[in-house]
Amino acid sequence: MSRPLLQVENLRVHFPVGGGLFSRPRMLKAVDDVSFQLAPGETLGVVGESGCGKSSLGRAVLQLIPPTAGRVLWLGEDLCRLDDDAMNVKRSELQLVFQDPLASLNPRMTVGGILREPLYSFEPGIARSEAEDRAAAMMRRVGLRPEMMNRYPNEFSGGQCQRISIARAMISRPRLVICDEPVSALDVSIQAQIIALLRELQAEYEVSYIFISHDLSVVRHLCHRIMVLYLGKLMEIGPKRDIFDTPRHPYTQSLLSAVPIPDPRRARQRDQKLLEGDLPSPLNPPSGCVFRTRCPHATPLCIKSAPVLEATGSEAHQVACHYWQSLTPETHTDQPTGE
């Protein structure tokens, strides 16, 4: 792997919740001791159930919420230690695309204004005509007609708004874009268009993505590596191939088992290992291994002690489970049928 663009070390995001006059607030550990690296041009998928800390992780990396502890090294420099002005300069390199395309665009600005804004703030002194030309070029690049420059966001469909968001994120030529469920709100046929656009832009600009999604099908298609979170903790991380072909963590295995497969024969043959029960409250996570209340393999050891992340042979594939070595990984890749 080339020199990492981003190194996240022992990141924690804890939110104080509740508390009143006489009681101290409790700490909700949205992200708890998460470490990972990202190489230039790489896409890292972040998956897990609702509330497991995906968005909090993304926002903490971008310093949109202050991390409680840990380091976020951007080309070796700790972003957590930068003051607001210095961080704002860095933002041209680190951008964000949200799930809800319309809500993330200023309704009172024209599309042209939305696209020119980052240029004016990151390249003060840029000539208006140049900003306009670049905005028009970017619109064309994401598949929108530049003639629509003077329209407002509410005049666009969901898919078009997501194209505008992507254009806004890309126009400052960032090296990292964090995509937080960028296609989840879109229709199936539009999802594929946006996924294709993200892939093309990556090839063209060598941008890295952190791709947050609950959809493992999309993640498999788009990501090079995948990270699985549960109640704020890293359960497993590794190259896509390892995660889908030899998933080691019981949680990863049940997540994969739960994904619907659009293939009736496969769906009928499949022996799904479904999770029982619901997510525990993040305010009161289980002791030891946080997954133990839903884990089919839990033992008394799992109640007492929290597993640490271990390499599984390949250094890049790491898992946090006491028993990963004795569990059989089941492939989630369809066996070749000799097409």
Ligand X SMILES: Nc1ncnc2c1ncn2[C@@H]1O[C@H](COP(=O)(O)OP(=O)(O)OP(=O)(O)O)[C@@H](O)[C@H]1O
Q: Summarize as ranges the residues that interact with Mg ion (CB under 5 A).
A: 55
Q: Strand 6-17 and strand 26-38: pairing? A: antiparallel
Q: What is residue 35's three-state secondary structure? A: strand
Angle at Cα 329 formed by Cα 327 and Cα 333, nearest 5°?
A: 165
Candidate list 54, 175, 248, 317; residue touching ligand X; CB under 6 A: 54
230 backbone dihedrals φ, ψ, rounded to 5° = -145, 125
Task: For 171, list phi and psi in degrees, rounded to 5.
Answer: -65, -25
Q: Report the distance separating Cα 228 and Cα 247, nearest Å.
A: 11
In the range 144-163, which residues lie near ligand X by CB under 6 A?
Answer: none
Nearer CB in complex with ligand SF4: 52/62: 52
Residue 175 or 233: the one with the smaller Cβ distance to ligand X is 233
- Can residue 44 be called a binding residue for ligand X (CB under 6 A)? no
* Least distance in angstroms from the C-beta of 232 to another protein: 16
Beta bridge partners of 14: 29
CB 229 within 8 A of CB 195: no
Is residue 284 a contact point for ligand X (CB under 6 A)?
no
- The beta-strand segments (E) located in the chain are 6-17, 26-38, 43-47, 69-74, 77-78, 94-97, 176-180, 208-212, 225-230, 233-239, 310-311, 318-319
Residue ranges in 247-286 that form contacts with another protein under rule CB under 8 A: 254-268, 270, 272, 274-279
- 274-303 mask for ligand SF4 (x: CB under 6 A)? ---------------x-xx--x-xx---x-
Site string for ligand SF4, 246-265 (x = CB under 6 A): ----x---------------
Q: Of these, 7, 12, 14, 15, which contacts ligand X (CB under 6 A)? A: 15
Query: Which residues of this protein are in contact with ligand X, per CB under 6 A?
Result: 15, 17, 28, 30, 48, 50-56, 214, 282
Query: Which residues of this protein are in contact with ligand SF4, per CB under 6 A?
Result: 250, 289, 291-292, 295, 297-298, 302, 307, 321-323
